[in-house]
Structure 1
Amino acid sequence: MDGKGSVCSGDVGSGGMGSASMLASVFARLARGEVEPGPLVDVAPATEQGAGTGVETGEKAVDVGEVGGARSAPSTRKTRSVRRQHWSVPMHPPGVVRVVPAALCPRPAAADSPQAADASQAADASQAADASQAADAPQVADTPQAVVAPQVPQVPQTDEGEVDSPRSSRPVKITLHELPPEALPSALLDMSKARNQKFDALLSAPIIDLEALRALAWSGVPAVLRPQVWALLLGYAPSRADRRVGVLARKRREYVDAANTLLEAPFGSVEDAIMTQIRKDLPRTEQSLAIFRAERIQSALERILFTWAVRNPASGYVQGMNDLAATLFVTFLVPQLAIAVNDPHHQTALLLQLEDLSELNEAQLALVEADSYWCFSKMLDSIHDNFIVNLPGIYRNLDKLERLLGAMNPRLASHLAESGISMMLFAFRWMTCFLVREFPLPLAVRLWDTYVAESAFNDFHVYVCGALLLHFVDDLLEASAEELIMFLQDLPTATWTETDIEELLSKAYVAHSLYASKVGP
């Protein structure tokens, strides 16, 4: 490891792990209390809100997750071997693998909010459609009969009793040896204040008015302020300014402590299964952004997802969680890049490239990782019904979308029904990924500004999906059954702009006002 010492037991190949070992040196010092982390754009979590996230009083734990389908793509990552343990989890088209670490992790107490998930077949139906849309469309119609039950796959043993795996059986450890800047450079703050005086007035208050912040964030949040705003609205950062930095430091240490404890513990077949499935999904993550193919980023996402899965045995890891975690990660990454290059224009479009990562030190990435983890944990807490066994939240939203479409446009609802196209066949991914895969990432992040601002964004999301269907109503009414499923699984949104998202949100708001009483909860 270039003289920097090993990151975990076993031999680690190249593949960019020198930087990962630096990341490891950093968070260890933080865990030992040798350094105090500065605020990440002044974001901090509230410790009393740890219930349901895997961290409670006297317990160090971590949560993070992400749900949704993932489109097939060949992995370009180099193979590494740690502890020479390998195995692979069979994919179940058109189903989703759920790996549950129940063998080693006790079920949470009743006070904990269970976050379990099965992940659904419609997500993988989209993978089948990507591979061969025309050929697979008839098979997709049978998706409701192909739901994959929760299971822990059997681990194939080699002659030597070892297990086969494409990469390391455990992620690298995390460390923090260099503090990031305390806040944004003054030039960036001045520009932000000049253009966003309302945000500045709210965020600089001794006690932030969260309802006023929700109302302002509904129409969009500046990228450099987005991590702070999202952390506040998700309940991760306390609204009191005098508590924010201290709480933030404490929460980051909790993540580091719990993650490194899990990485140092012996791995069993269940942990290997979780890691293998995560590593199958990560190469498919937001392929339009090169940074998600970088080893530093994939290692961070591995730790987030693996730690959350092991600490939440009721749900484990659900195939596709990578999409939601990656969306949060890049959101928290943008301000750190603006800090590193002292250039506010890096915050505008989320068009991050591989060369941008060279501007970021390991401490900045480590803080992005910890804060992304906690915000994702809070997000899952608010929508946990979507991911528990039997997916009641997902099916409830699909039923609601069907009722909503019948009220908004009975003709389109009838056309879909007569063509044999149920909501399950295309909207399951919409519900699990919150449209991350239906829009370019910058637009999905803008959409999430409104979702985070909505106190019940899982409910509002259904109306956004209804407005999205009506946007394409003319195309859909003219399409055959095969054309319908192909169109709905690959919406032509690549050329959409933020103006289109604003219009979609406005229509969803109107639909909610008009039809909420008819559609019901």
Structure 2
Amino acid sequence: MAYKARLKEFDDILNQDEINLKELRKLAFNGIPDDQGKRAICWKLLLNYLPPEKASWSAFLETKRELYKQFIDEMIVTPGSKEVDGDVEDHPLSINPDSEWQAFFKDNEVLLQIDKDVRRLCPDISFFQQPTEFPCSVVVNSMDVKRLHRRVERCVLKCANVERKGLGITKIALSLKKANEDYAPMDEGHEAHWEVVERILFLYAKLNPGQSYVQGMNEILGPIYYAFASDPDVEFREWAEADSFFCFTNLMSEIRDFFIKSLDEAECGINNMMSRMLVQLKNSDLDIWLRFQQLELRPQYYSFRWITLLLSQEFPLPDVLRIWDSLFSDEHRFDFLIYICCAMIVILRNQLLDGDFPSNLKLLQNFPPMDVQIILSRAVELSKQKF
């Protein structure tokens, strides 16, 4: 009965002519039911994609989805196809800075990394290897536009998500979730979900040349796309790609500073977030803080990945979705993320107090499986402590 009552609370909010975002945040903070499309629609509101006025949704979504189509048409191109009086204007050896071939080769450097990353996205579930119901027809059925994965020559690259030098260790975020094999592309006329994610990330990189693509962005986009592409409402599911692109863009506008090395020391940068977490840990459990100081176990060694990737690599996807319900509902994003990180440490208190540097580092970098609600409940407790 409690579950049905909770569904009704969401319905009462979502059926209003104008969504009360304050009430939605309060309700969604404790978790959004994942059936009937509740999570997908709530995330679109919480990520400031959908406007609160429901009457404007139809026209708004039509405009955004048409814009996304334009991005595909204009930015995923096959160069060298322009001709004037029978002569090809552009060619692969052209040194013209406006040459489409020059852009093509430069794009492929970024695409190589994107392709490698998306082929190993969430290997603990089969979703991203499966075909989408709604492949992009202009891509899979057009002779003028090449599928992105075909542009990439396969090569071996070291796999380290959000690798960052200058924090005291060479590799701080080796991905522990490994796929046995790279995901295979679909046959002509079809495409897998990972291919859709690849296209979204490629377009994002093209539209944000100052930042482009950084390893780990695939881990931010993956859960959003999964939630939208799993929407029970077929009308919303059909547009999961476009909606995911804009929600991902909005979220990245909030956390992009975590991915920019030149801003590490800035107030909005990753080092400040890790410092805040350490202060909170000191306030929450002085004994653990002192033990970490004694061992010189710095937050860069374990929490860099936690914070930058919003814990998306520390837990199974269903748990990540639940955690993100709370993170997206946090009006002061991302304060609650700090409390979750501290809760994760405090819950392992006894082991961490007894452990040495190697064992503690291994424990924190391989957080043990547990009910995520235990962690979230402890995080709420820590957020209410007075110091």
Structure 1 length-normalised TM: 0.54
What corresponds to 1:222 in structure 2?
33
Which residue type is aligned with residue 129 of structure 2? R
What corresponds to 2:219 in structure 1?
323
- How far does residue 387 in structure 1 lie from its aligned partner after superposition? 2.8
Task: Give runs of aligned pairs for residues 53-64 of structure 1, distance below 5 A.
Answer: none
What corresponds to 1:211 in structure 2?
22
Which residue type is aligned with residue 24 of structure 2? L
- 1:383 aligned counterpart, secondary structure: helix
- How far does residue 366 in structure 1 lie from its aligned partner after superposition? 5.0
**Is 1:278 matched with 2:114?**
yes
- How far does residue 268 in structure 1 lie from its aligned partner after superposition? 3.3
What corresponds to 2:243 in structure 1?
371
- 1:260 aligned counterpart, secondary structure: helix
Contact 2:129–2:194, Cα closer than 8 Å, also in 1: yes
- 1:226 aligned counterpart, secondary structure: helix
What corresponds to 1:343 in structure 2?
none
Unmatched runs of 5 consecutive residues or more in structure 2: 80-99, 131-184, 186-191
Give 1:252's match in structure 2, choosing from 55, 61, 65. Answer: 65
Q: Structure 1 CA distance, aligned partners of 2:72 and 2:348?
A: 45
**Is 1:451 matched with 2:320?**
no
Contact 1:193–1:200, Cα closer than 8 Å, also in 2: no
What corresponds to 1:313 in structure 2?
209
- How far does residue 468 in structure 1 lie from its aligned partner after superposition? 0.8
Q: Structure 2 CA distance, aligned partners of 1:377 and 1:299?
A: 18
Which residue type is aligned with residue 337 of structure 2? H
**Cα offsets for 1:93-143 (capped at 9, x unmatched):** xxxxxxxxxxxxxxxxxxxxxxxxxxxxxxxxxxxxxxxxxxxxxxxxxxx
- How far does residue 474 in structure 1 lie from its aligned partner after superposition? 0.8
- How far does residue 260 in structure 1 lie from its aligned partner after superposition? 2.4
- 2:334 aligned counterpart, secondary structure: helix
What corresponds to 2:124 in structure 1?
288
**Cα offsets for 1:54-80 (capped at 9, x unmatched):** xxxxxxxxxxxxxxxxxxxxxxxxxxx
Q: Structure 2 CA distance, aligned partners of 1:250 and 1:324?
A: 25
Which residue type is aligned with residue 50 of structure 2? A
What corresponds to 1:504 in structure 2?
375
**Cα offsets for 1:147-188 (capped at 9, x unmatched):** xxxxxxxxxxxxxxxxxxxxxxxxxxxxxxxxxxxxxxxxxx
What corresponds to 1:301 in structure 2?
197
Q: Structure 1 CA distance, aligned partners of 2:195 and 2:251?
A: 22
Contact 1:259–1:307, Cα closer than 8 Å, also in 2: yes
- How far does residue 304 in structure 1 lie from its aligned partner after superposition? 0.7
**Cα offsets for 1:360-404 (capped at 9, x unmatched):** xxx876511111111111111223332333334211110111111
Aligned residues: 296
Give 2:272's match in structure 1, choosing from 381, 396, 409. Answer: 396
**Is 1:196 matched with 2:7?**
yes
Task: Give runs of aligned pairs for residues 437-476 of structure 1, distance below 5 A.
Answer: 437-476=313-352
Which residue type is aligned with residue 377 of structure 1? T
Stretch of structure 1 that moved more, 293-302 or 458-467: 293-302
What corresponds to 2:284 in structure 1?
408
Which residue type is aligned with residue 292 of structure 1? F
Q: Structure 2 CA distance, aligned partners of 1:366 and 1:272?
A: 28
- 1:405 aligned counterpart, secondary structure: helix
- How far does residue 193 in structure 1 lie from its aligned partner after superposition? 7.2
What corresponds to 1:434 in structure 2?
310
Task: Give runs of aligned pairs for residues 38-437 of structure 1, distance below 5 A.
Answer: 196-223=7-34, 224-264=37-77, 266=100, 267-294=103-130, 295=185, 296-335=192-231, 338-339=232-233, 367-388=239-260, 389-391=262-264, 392=266, 393-437=269-313
Q: Could you say if the C-alpha distance between residues 379 and 280 of structure 1 is closer, same or farther in structure 2, counting changes exceeding 3 Å?
A: same
Q: Structure 2 CA distance, aligned partners of 1:257 and 1:462?
A: 39
- 2:311 aligned counterpart, secondary structure: coil
Q: Structure 2 CA distance, aligned partners of 1:375 and 1:490?
A: 29
What corresponds to 1:131 in structure 2?
none
- 1:285 aligned counterpart, secondary structure: coil
Q: Structure 2 CA distance, aligned partners of 1:253 and 1:470?
A: 48
Structure 2 length-normalised TM: 0.72
Q: Structure 2 CA distance, aligned partners of 1:364 and 1:220?
A: 21
Unmatched runs of 5 consecutive residues or more in structure 1: 1-191, 341-362
- 1:284 aligned counterpart, secondary structure: coil
Q: Structure 2 CA distance, aligned partners of 1:418 and 1:269?
A: 50
**Cα offsets for 1:423-443 (capped at 9, x unmatched):** 001110001111111111101
Percent sequence identity is: 29
Give the superposed CA RMSD: 1.9
Which residue type is aligned with residue 473 of structure 1? R
